[in-house]
Amino acid sequence: MPNQLRPAFRVRDGVALIVSNVIGVGIFTTPAIIAKLVPSPGAMLVLWLVGGCLALAGAMSYAQLGRMWPFAGGEYVYLSKAYGPTAGFLSGWTSLIAGFSGAVAASAVALIIYLGQYFPALASDHSLFSINFYFGAFTFSPRSLAAAAIIAVFAALHACNLGAGRLTQNMLALLILAIIIVFCVLGFAAGGGSWAHFQSPNIRIHPMNALLALIPIMFTYSGWNAASYIAEEMYDTRRTIGRALLSGTCIIVALYAVLNLLYLYAIPVTTMQNAVNVGDVAAQALFGVGRNFITPVLIIAMLGAVSAMTIAGPRVYFAMARDGAFIRSFAHTSPRFGTPALAIVLQALWSVVLVLVGGFEQILMYTGFTILLCSGAAVAGLFVVKRRELQSNPGLWLTMLAPGIFTVACAAIVVNGVVGAPKTSLVGALLIAAGLPVFFWSRKRSLQHPVDSKTTVAEAS
């Protein structure tokens, strides 16, 4: 069938996708924000563990959702089934205009900036030429062209060779894990740190500051759900999707806990508060290497992030198109490679546009709150679809503890973000709503020309 995905991924591939989606610049910079809000080593570590537990609660919930609906698309599928196709579309549209495309653009530009420390000309933002349009200008600089080339290379790799793309992704994830683990082991064994840094005077932590600190922590953990986007392509999905989600998330939680412990061993909280890049400062304190160590790590992390999001994101647009919620052409897969090639090209093109117009920072700022909104709503959907079972069998409420905790936490963080930045949130909501004409047009076309597929979300039981 032209709109069928082939089983190609195993548990290890799902874990690699999660690792590369999660590990990025955040874990090397966010601890400074946490140190300012909660200037206590013990409280900082507790908050990172709380964030990890919330991510695990989310992974457990997604494991349930993935077993119920083992299809490509992640939140798009879950929201469509729980609340209807419009809610699913809005989630998928957000992934296209910002969630994945904007993140790919940001990661590609960050990658070139880090490479610029070795090749300054490559990262130059000096405009070579520009093309003006009514809505803005495409600026062609060495940095934007290099970032666009990175996006194009990974798009071609994952569109034209599923096996090579999967191997590349796994190797990047394994490499970043190995480097961070070695850094932690050597840091504690031979680094110039001190356990005295964990001693601090009794500091009264304001509950509101602790809640505020959870926002950047949760964003640093974001990406734990990456395996859900390729659920349809996993062998024996109903058995393996939960293993991939939980294994990948547990690895990240353990890694982040040890890394933050190492940061505190390397430098005191007061030093951490003033650090732009905590990873740099900690490496300098431990080994005297600083940027010489952290920059290569960040380069590998950005390569893995671009690769992982090039795999995950297009599965959402593919699923939307297959269900008739998006332009039909993007439901086709390559007959030779079995990949959603057109959907991959679509995301790559939009990511390049965002790089050239410099719009990814604004669009991510406007739509950032929707990441947790969609995840929280998807997990809350478990209560919607299981309401009859919960009414007839109260004992099932125990199995809904993790989804309940995750939903409440997401709701609190989203409300806090909207209240704190109402104008920004309103602009983001308008950007998301702008996709509705595309949805209604696609639905109308779908009704006139139904999709010939046995595995659409709309038809799945």
Note the pLDDT of residue 428: 81
Joined tokens for residue 226: 């990456």
Note the pLDDT of residue 51: 92
Note the pLDDT of residue 366: 67
Neighbour count for residue 296 (Cβ, 10 Å): 14
Helix (H) or strand (E) run with residue 179 in it: helix 162-190
Note the pLDDT of residue 448: 64
- Per-residue b/e over 404-437, b at no fewer than 16 CB within 10 Å? bbbbebbeebbebbbeebeebbebbbebbeebee
Asked if 379 and 407 count as a contact pair (C-beta separation under 8 A), the reply is yes
Per-10-residue mean pLDDT of the chain, 461 residues long, equals: 80 95 88 89 92 92 92 93 93 90 90 90 83 73 93 96 93 94 93 85 74 84 92 92 95 95 93 88 87 85 94 96 92 89 96 85 71 87 83 75 87 80 81 89 76 48 41
Note the pLDDT of residue 176: 94
d(CA 153, CA 157): 6
Helix (H) or strand (E) run with residue 136 in it: strand 136-140
Asked if 180 and 254 count as a contact pair (C-beta separation under 8 A), the reply is no
Asked if 221 and 51 count as a contact pair (C-beta separation under 8 A), the reply is yes
Instruction: Quickly list H helices, 275-368.
Output: 278-287, 291-322, 341-357, 360-367
Note the pLDDT of residue 454: 43
Question: What sign for the dihedral angle of Cα 354, 355, 361, 367?
Answer: positive
Judge if pTM exceeds 0.85: yes
Asked if 337 and 94 count as a contact pair (C-beta separation under 8 A), the reply is no
Q: At which residue do the structure tokens 């809350």 appear? A: 380
Select from 306, 307, 318 the least CA-distant residue to 355: 306
Q: At which residue do the structure tokens 């790799």 appear? A: 157
The DSSP annotation for 379-437 comes to HHHHHHHTHHHHHH-GGGGGGGHHHHHHHHHHHHHHHHHHHH-HHHHHHHHHHHHTTHH
338: left (phi over 0), alpha (psi -120 to 50) or beta: left
**Burial of 207 (C-beta count, 10 Å sphere; 0-12/13-18/19+):** exposed
Note the pLDDT of residue 112: 93
